[in-house]
A and B are shown apart, each in its own frame.
Chain A
C-alpha cells in the first residue's frame, strides 16, 4: 500500500487524500467513545469542556461523579445484578450452544440449514418483538420480574453468537486428527477431551464473551421482563438518559468502555493463541 516512487502528482494527491478520508472515518468511529472519558472528570455538571478543563487546570477536573457512582446503592446493586444475570446466562448459553454446535458440525446432521435458522433467530427477530413476546409469555408463567426469567431471556439472545462462533471454529476442524487419535488407541472420551476440546476452546471462549456482552449490554428485553429488583446497569442508564442525563452516566460509560477494552484484549489474546496452535497442527 506504500506509494511507489514513480507516482505522479495526481496519484500522490489521491494517496494522501485517501489517507485523510480514512483518518476522518476512524475519528468518527473512535472519537465519540474517547471524548466522554475526559468529560467524565468534569468538576461541573456540564457535558462540554469548561475553560478550566481546556487550560488543563487541575481545578477543572474531579472524581466527584465516580464518587457519586460508587456511593450510590442503586448503581452498586445494578452492577451486582448485571454480572449475576450475564454470568448465569453465559454459562447456560455456552454449554447448550457448544453441544448444539458439535452436533451441527457433524456431516451426517439432517436439516442443518433449517435448524441453524431456528437457533439463529433470536439475533434476527427485532428486539422489540422478542421483548414483547417474552413479556407476555413470562408473565403467563409467573417468570416476569424474576431473575430466572431475565436469565432465560438473555440466554436465548446470547445463544446465536455461541452457535455461530463455535460452528465456525469446528468448520475448520481437521477430523483426521480425531481419527488418528482413535487409531492410536484413544477411547472416544480421551479423543474429545485431549484432542477436540483444546482446539475448539478458543471458539467456545469467544462465543462465551459474545454471550456475556450481549446480556451485559441488553436493555430492550430487560425493560419488559425485569422487575424493579432486577435493574441492571443498562436499565439504570436507560432511565438516567431518558429523564435527565447526569454526569454520573458519563462516569459509568467510561467504566464500561474500560470493560470492553479488557474484553477486546482478552479476545485478541485468545485469537493469537489459537492461531499459533493451529499453525502447529499439521494442515
Chain B
C-alpha cells in the first residue's frame, strides 16, 4: 500500500528523472563546485606548509645515519644477542663500513649522531675510521680493539645496535630529559643535564603569566571601549589598533630603548631620585623584559575578542541587577563577568597559543633567563645543528599547541574569530 502510494506520488522532472535524484545530482554538482574553489588553496597549503611541518616533526624520529652509512654493521648486528662482544664477522663489517665511510667522507655524520647519545663517540668513530683504512687483513677483532679499546666495550656495540634502526625515539626521550643507559634502560638524565623539562615548564609558566596579565589589563580597557559612545570609542580604538599594526621588531626595539640600564625609564627614575646612579635597575635582558614586551605585543589579541563580546551585552542587564538591589560590585561580578567568559576564553587561548611559540621577542630581550622553548629549537637548528633534537622539541611544542588549539576550536570556533 505504502509503496504504491509513493510510486503514484513520486514527482519527476520534465525528462522523467525522479526529482529526488535530480536534486541530489545538482547538490553534488554544487558540492564539487564549492570544493573546486577551495582546492587550489588547499593544495598550496598542503605542499608549501603542511608537508614541510610534518617533515620537520618526522626529523625527531628519523635515524638514517647508522642505517645507511654502516649497512654491513647494521646487518651483522641484527643477529647479535648483546651479551658478549660480537663475532669476528661483525668486526670485519665494521672495518669495511669505516673504510667506505671514510672514502665517501660521510662517516662524520655517524660520528656526530652517536656522539649525541654517548659523549666521546665522535672521537671513537672518526679516529677508528682514520686508522681502519690501513687494515688489510683479519682477524679484525683484535686489531680494532687495539685501535680503540671502546670496541671491546659491549655498551658501545649495544648503542650502535640500538641506533641502527631507521627510526629512533632517542631524540624524543632526550627532549624530555631522559636517556638510555648502557644496560638499555631508560632513566632520567643527571640533574645538571636536565634542561628541556625546565624550559618547557618555564615556557608554560611564562605564557600563563603573560595571559593573566593580559586579562587584567585588557578587561578595563575593553569595558571602557564597549560602554563609551561609538564616536569616542572608535577614537580610543585607534590606540589599541596602532600597536596591533606596528611592526613586532619596532615594538621590541622600543622596549629595549625604554628599559635598558641607560634607557629612558632608568633615567627618569634617577632624575626623580627614586634610585641612584649606581642602583640602575636591570629591567631587560631577563625574564621581566620578556614578560613586559610580550604582554605589550599580545595585549591587543586579548582586548579585541573581549571587546566584541562586551559590545553585545545590553547595558539593561546591569541596570536591572542594580535596581533589584544588588550592590554594584556584586552586580558586576555575578551578572556582567559571567557574560564575558566566552570573550575571556577566546582572548586567553589566543594569547596563550601565540606566546607559547614566541621566538623573536625572547631572543632579543630575554637575555639568558627569559628564553623560551622556541629559542632552544632555533639554537639546535642554527648552532648545534642537532636537527633531530630540534625536530623532537618542535614536535612536542606542536602537540602542546595543537591541544590548546583544539580546545579553542571546540569552545569558540576559529571561524568566529574577528580581527581588526
Binding site for B on A (CB under 8 A): 1, 11, 18, 21-22, 25-26, 28-30, 32-33, 35-36, 39, 46-49, 96-97, 99-100, 102-104, 106, 108-110, 113, 115-122, 124-130, 132-138, 152-153, 155-156, 159, 161, 163-165, 167-168, 171, 206, 210, 213, 216-217, 219-220, 224, 234, 237-238, 241-242, 245, 249-250, 253, 256-257, 260-261, 263-264, 267-268
Contact = CB atoms under 8 A, between A and B. Distances in A.
A47 B242 contact: no
A210 B244 CA distance: 11
B76 interface: no
A167 B44 contact: no
Contact of B49 (A21, A156, A168, A210): A156
Interface stretch (B52-60, B124-132, B185-193): B52-60
B52 A260 contact: no
A122 B47 CA distance: 12
Q: When A and B form their complex, which 8 residue pairs have the shortest distance between CB atoms, in order from nearest?
A: A126-B357, A103-B37, A133-B56, A133-B52, A137-B52, A100-B41, A103-B38, A260-B245
A73 B374 CA distance: 33
A200 B282 CA distance: 51
Given A28-B217, A30-B243, A118 B253 contact: no
A49 B314 CA distance: 47
Contacts of A119: 38, 41-42, 45
Given A29-B296, A217-B249, A257-B250, A117 B44 contact: no
Contact of B30 (A35, A108, A124, A238): A108
B42 A35 contact: no
A121 B49 contact: yes
Given A217-B247, A253-B250, A97 B41 contact: yes
A213 to B, nearest CB: 6
Interface of B: 27, 30-31, 33-38, 40-42, 44-46, 48-57, 59, 217, 220-221, 224, 227-229, 236, 238-243, 245-258, 260, 262-264, 267, 296, 299-300, 328, 353, 356-360, 363-364, 374, 377-378, 381, 387, 390-391, 394, 397-398, 401-402, 405, 409, 414-415, 417-420
A151 to B, nearest CB: 10
Nearest to B254: A32
B419 A260 contact: no
A14 B33 CA distance: 59
Contacts of B296: 28-29, 32
A159 B363 CA distance: 26
A47 B363 CA distance: 20
Nearest to A234: B249
Contacts of B402: 124
B243 A100 contact: no
Judged by DSSP, the binding face of A is helix
Contacts of A48: 257, 262-264, 267
B297 to A, nearest CB: 10
B263 A219 contact: no
B42 A118 contact: yes
B44 A155 contact: yes
B34 A106 contact: yes
B394 A128 contact: yes
Judged by DSSP, the binding face of B is helix
A130 B419 contact: no
A52 B52 CA distance: 54
Given A21-B220, A117-B414, A260-B247, A96 B40 contact: yes
Given A125-B401, A217-B248, A260-B245, A104 B49 contact: no
A219 B248 CA distance: 9
Contacts of B224: 1, 18, 22
Contact of B299 (A29, A122, A241, A253): A29
A260 B217 contact: no
Given A47-B264, A217-B247, 10 more contacts: A47-B257, A47-B263, A49-B264, A97-B41, A126-B394, A159-B44, A241-B252, A253-B249, A253-B253, A260-B245
Given A49-B264, A102-B37, A126-B401, A33 B256 contact: no
A71 B217 CA distance: 42
Contacts of B414: 116-117, 120, 164
Pick from B56, B240, B391, B402 the residue with the most CB of A within 10 Å. B56
A219 B34 CA distance: 35
A172 to B, nearest CB: 11
Given A132-B56, A257-B250, A1 B227 contact: yes
Contacts of A253: 247, 249-250, 253-254
A241 B377 CA distance: 21
B331 to A, nearest CB: 13
Contact of A103 (B34, B50, B220): B34
Contacts of A125: 53, 357, 398, 401
A109 B30 CA distance: 8
B258 A129 contact: no
A46 to B, nearest CB: 7
A215 B397 CA distance: 24
Pick from B250, B374, B419 the residue with the most CB of A within 10 Å. B250
Contacts of B249: 217, 219, 234, 237-238, 241, 253
Nearest to A271: B420
28 contacts: A22-B220, A28-B296, A29-B243, A33-B243, A35-B254, A35-B264, A48-B263, A106-B37, A115-B38, A119-B41, A121-B45, A124-B401, A125-B53, A125-B357, A125-B398, A128-B357, A129-B398, A132-B377, A133-B53, A134-B49, A156-B45, A156-B48, A165-B420, A206-B420, A210-B419, A237-B249, A245-B253, A267-B420
